[in-house]
Structure formats: structure tokens, C-alpha cells
Amino acid sequence: MRILYFSRDYTTHDRRFLAKISQHHEVFFLRLEDDGIAHEKRLVPDGVNVVPGFASGVRSTTPESRLRLMPEYQDVIEQIRPDLIHAGPVQSCGFMTALSGFHPFLLTSWGSDILVDADRDAFWRWMTRLALDHSDMFFCDCAEVSARAREIGDYKRTIVQFPWGVDVSKFYPGHSTVLRIDESWHEGVIVISTRAWREDYGTRVLLDSFRLAYQREPRLRLVLLGEGPLAPDVHSYIEQYELSTAVHILGQRPEDELPEYFRSADVYLSCAPCDGSSISLLGAMATGLPVIASDRASNREWVKHEENGWLAHAGEPESFARALAAAARLAPNRRRAMASTNREVASRDANWDQNFPQLLDAYTQLYTNARYERPAEYDRGLAQQRNHIGSTR
């Protein structure tokens, strides 16, 4: 089967999908833009056909700019002639695929597109509904997203839902001293965060919560494995509050290094106010770390408050600070119990190798039961008309 995989950027998640898909199908990777933040630094996996030169390297960040790209996208479809298009996020690649008229079309949500972007304004709600209405199947990673998709678009077609998961043969418990950089860190309680430094990941809440908790529990230490547009704020915050001895910045690290860092830490922290099934959260759980995350439905699928971690109120540093203080005071036997529970949960429910075949089954179902016959040619006039409408909005 020829699969056109159309994604907004090239992230670690895209790479993992492409690597798996290419083992079973002929896959073409079309990238809409490069935002320079969530970039996966490793090359595209062997066996994946990269579609070159799309959008001439210009960032496509608005609905209008995406509408202007429709004729070029139509050309790509006609040249590749895929058997199926797998596209997401919803309001970018999914929206463009809906406009193309191509079927079969698997629409993929990346979490925030449904949980946040769908409610930006009336036009974004329209784009969301159009993408849902014209898809043949919807794919997401948690119940919160699937429930919201059904509400937004009265979606009645098949929804494929499973956590994208982790490689549990690489993310496993163990002992490491890679983060124990001096005596105070050897004796400290190390908190690790891997999220990008962006507003939508709660970076400022994370810094405030750590500072508050550190004032109460001086043994706490924070490791930041990230980067992003808030980098100047992160560095100035650490300097302003004299946290340089308690905070260690490593920057964004390759995925294959994360298990070693997790094994050297004592607790995982994410202050992101909105998430699907967070891969970094699941990776931390698979290595046996107690976890702290925002109290929302997607995280409650994985975290039971004070059983295998803590749930804190999104956007409230004091709530996260209380969880950090509790983690610092955790008795060894409770820590071992949390580690065992999280490893068991991740191995059972977040095993990437076990979950991925569900996507392959969805491909087969779509290909054999397409709602419409795939057209040989596409309506360029309609695309150009939409282009004109978009450019004058």
C-alpha cells in the first residue's frame, strides 16, 4: 500500500510513526513546515520517501497560508497517487486533506488541536468540523480527545484510539548516576522535566512551582531537558532567584538518551496544561519514576493521585509545589511501590510495539472499505477558488 503521511513538522513522534509504517508499506513523508522548536534532529528513517521542496521552505502558520498551498498539495497527491492519506494535526494537514477531496483519509489528532485549537474562534471551529466531516476514520491517543471529537463534529465513524506509547525494552527501571553531578546532587531529590520551553507547556508554572518547593525542601534539584522560545526567560529566572546550584540545564536531548536520564532522577514533572497521552510521561513511568502532571482527563488515564504520582491543578504553581514537596518526602517503600506500579502500567498499556499494529489494521480497513472511489484527477478550479477566498479573509 502507498501511504502519504502528511504532518505539520518533523518531530520524534513523526519519526517513530514513519519508522514503523515503512516496515510494512511504501510511505511518502510530506512536511508542511519547520517551526524550529520541536525538530527531530535525527534523519528521516531509511525506507521513507521524503517529498522534496513542498511550500518552498516557507512556514505555513495561518489558515490563509495553508489555503494558498492547496494547488501545490493537489500536485503532490496527483504525482504520488497514494492509496491512503494519513494526515494531522486537524486544522493544518487534516484541513488541507479534507479540502483536497481525497479518500480514504485517516485524520490524526495531536491532542491540543482538538482540546485547544478547535475552540480558538468560529473559523477554527469550522476548519475542525470540516476536517472531521471529510475524514473516513479518526485516530487519537486518549479518551479525552476522542470524546471531544465526537462532540465537535458529531463524529459517528470509526475512531482508532491507543496511546502512542514507548519502547519498553529501552525505557526500563535501573540505576544511573549521570545526573548526580556533585555531592549535593548525590544526596538530593532530582526532578526531571523534558518538555519544550513554551507557553503551552507551562514553563513559567514549572519554574514557579520548583522555586516554591525548593524553599521548603532544599534537597530538591531540577534538571531541564528542553529548549524553546522561552529560553531567555528560563535563564533570567534562574539568575534572578539564584537557583543556578539547584537547576541543571541540559537542553533538548535525543530520545535514545532519555532512559538513562530518567533512571538517574527521582521524579518526573510536567506542568503542561493540555496533553494527550504524553510520551515523556509514559517514558518516565516505564522507567519507574513517580510522576507529577496536570489534573485533566488524559493524565488521569495514567496517574492516580498519591498512588503512582500526583495530579496538580493546571496553571497553579502552589499546587505543583505541594506535589514536589510530597515527592521529596516520599518514604523509600512508597517510592518502590510507585516504581513497580508505573512500570507495570506502562508495560501493559503503553507498549509501542504492541499498540502500533492497531494502526496497520486501520489502514487495511480504510483501503478495503473506502467511502468513495479515489478520483483520478482533482478539481484545481475549486482549490484556486478557496485559495482566493483565503487570501482575502
Report the CATH number that the domain containing residue 246 is assigned in CATH: 3.40.50.2000
Same domain, 204 and 340: yes
Domain membership of residue 17 (yes or no) is: yes
* Of 373 and 109, more confident: 109
- Determine the average pLDDT of the residues in 127-140: 96
Residue 375 has pLDDT above 80, yes or no: no
One-letter amino acid for residue 107 of the chain? L
Same domain, 343 and 362: no
Same domain, 245 and 97: no
Same domain, 11 and 59: yes
What backbone phi and psi angles, to 5 degrees, belong to 40? -80, 120
What pLDDT score was predicted for residue 378? 42
12 vs 208: CA distance, rounded Å: 28
pLDDT level of residue 387 (50, 70, 90 thresholds): low
135 vs 363: CA distance, rounded Å: 13
What backbone phi and psi angles, to 5 degrees, belong to 310? -140, 145
Same domain, 15 and 117: yes
Beta bridge partners of 351: 166
What pLDDT score was predicted for residue 136? 95
What pLDDT score was predicted for residue 223? 98
Same domain, 321 and 379: no
pLDDT in tens, 233-277: 999 999 999 999 999 999 888 888 999 999 999 999 999 998 888
12 vs 65, 110, 203, CA distance in Å? 25, 13, 20
Same domain, 150 and 235: no
Domain membership of residue 193 (yes or no) is: yes
203 vs 191: CA distance, rounded Å: 14
What pLDDT score was predicted for residue 384? 47
Same domain, 303 and 216: yes
Domain total for the chain?
2
Same domain, 108 and 33: yes
Same domain, 221 and 238: yes
- Determine the average pLDDT of the residues in 346-355: 95
- Determine the average pLDDT of the residues in 187-206: 95
Separation of CA 318 from chain center: 26
Domain membership of residue 174 (yes or no) is: no
Same domain, 144 and 127: yes
Domain membership of residue 336 (yes or no) is: yes
What backbone phi and psi angles, to 5 degrees, belong to 372? -135, 150
Q: For residue 62, give its domain range.
A: 2-165+352-391
Alpha helices in 101-202 (DSSP H): 112-115, 122-134, 143-153, 183-187
Q: Is the pTM of this model over 0.85?
A: yes
Same domain, 81 and 154: yes
Domain membership of residue 322 (yes or no) is: yes
Domain membership of residue 381 (yes or no) is: yes
What pLDDT score was predicted for residue 374? 43
Task: Calculate the average pLDDT of the chain.
Answer: 91
The neighbour count for residue 256, using CB atoms within 10 Å, is 10
pLDDT level of residue 62 (50, 70, 90 thresholds): confident
Domain membership of residue 171 (yes or no) is: no
Domain membership of residue 191 (yes or no) is: yes
- Determine the average pLDDT of the residues in 139-146: 95
107 within 8 A of 29, measured Cβ to Cβ: no
What pLDDT score was predicted for residue 56? 62
